Amino acid sequence: MVIASHLTVSKALNFGTVAVTRSFNIQLKCSSKGFTRSIQMANIPVSKSSDSSSSRGALIVLEGLDRCGKTTQSSNLHKYLEGLGHSAELWRFPDRTTSVGQMISSYLSNESQLDDRAIHLLFSANRWEKRSLMESKLKSGTTIIVDRYSYSGVAFSSAKGLDFEWCKAPEKGLLAPDLVVYLDIPPEKATERGGYGGERYEQLEFQKKVRQSYQALHDASWKIVDACGSVKDIEKQLQEIVLESIGLCQKEKPLTCLWSS
């Protein structure tokens, strides 16, 4: 059993290493034309679909501390967009349905132990598993709402003390969101919400560090929403912000790669 466990972790680490290497290869494939810059992020356009007449979907990411309301709001947003007739899907990371995701789920539930660097690479590999499908869906016109993305990976791992830039490296080359909405809540307030403390990272002092890491990731493209407001008020803000982003994508805003420079 011990040997099998070691082999499984070894395979996962190899998967994560491939993800890191693949991320740098993806960067080389991105076009060098059309550079856009923001405070902390420079994105390189991904090649367009051969059908230039079709508009693409938007990649919308919701981020925030544990128990900030992301799951509720992302689900409500998905239903709202479908109600308007948009082609939309709701994704969550980690995706616990994949083989890598199952290892992550075991770790988060405190059923297994892994080195901090190993689990970081597993989280990244879990996102790389879905990259091709994500790009295909977006180019076909489907808007994808994502509950947690690369920013969570960097924020949580760097909060453990891992190097900030090292944490970002495996994510480079993944698709950049068209919109990042950060649901802002004081860590103390989050502890008052139902179910808090059920998973590994739901600890007050750790969440304070995560919030600091998120603040280091913020750039001018992020939208900050007060997560202490009522569910309905937050819903309304999200709907307005997201519809504007979808409109821009329908005007042939190019897909870009995350943190490529």
pLDDT by position in tens, the chain (length 261): 433 444 444 444 454 444 444 443 444 344 333 323 333 334 556 654 434 446 899 999 999 999 899 999 999 999 999 999 999 999 999 999 998 999 999 998 889 999 999 999 999 999 999 999 999 999 999 999 999 999 999 999 999 999 999 999 999 999 999 999 999 999 999 888 767 666 788 889 999 999 999 999 998 789 999 999 999 999 999 999 999 999 999 998 999 999 876
What are 46-51's contacts with CB under 8 Å, separation 24+? 46/135, 46/175, 46/254, 46/255, 46/256, 46/257, 48/252, 48/254, 48/255, 49/139
Report the alpha-carbon distance of residue 206 to residue 198 in Å, rounded. Answer: 14
- CATH top class, domain 59-253: alpha beta
Q: By the 8 A CB rule, do 64 and 152 touch?
A: no
Question: In the prediction, which pLDDT does 192 show?
Answer: 86
Calpha distance 209→212 (Å, rounded): 5
The answer to whether the beta carbons of residues 90 and 75 sit under 8 Å apart is yes
Residue 150 has what pLDDT?
98
**Helical H runs in 196-254?**
204-217, 231-250
pLDDT at res. 4: 41
Instruction: Give pLDDT, residue 197.
Output: 67
Regarding pTM above 0.85, the answer is no
Q: List all residues 6 or more positions away from 181 whose beta carbon is below 8 Å from its beta carbon.
A: 60, 61, 62, 63, 222, 223, 224, 225, 238, 241, 242
CA 128, CA 122: separation in Å to the nearest integer? 10
**8 Å CB contact between 128 and 25:** no
Side chain identity, residue 259: W
In Å, what is the CA distance from 63 to each residue of 36, 60, 159, 219, 225?
23, 10, 15, 13, 10
**Residue ranges covered by each domain of the chain:** 59-253
H or E element that contains 91: strand 88-92
3-state secondary structure of 74: helix
Amino acid 199: pLDDT: 73
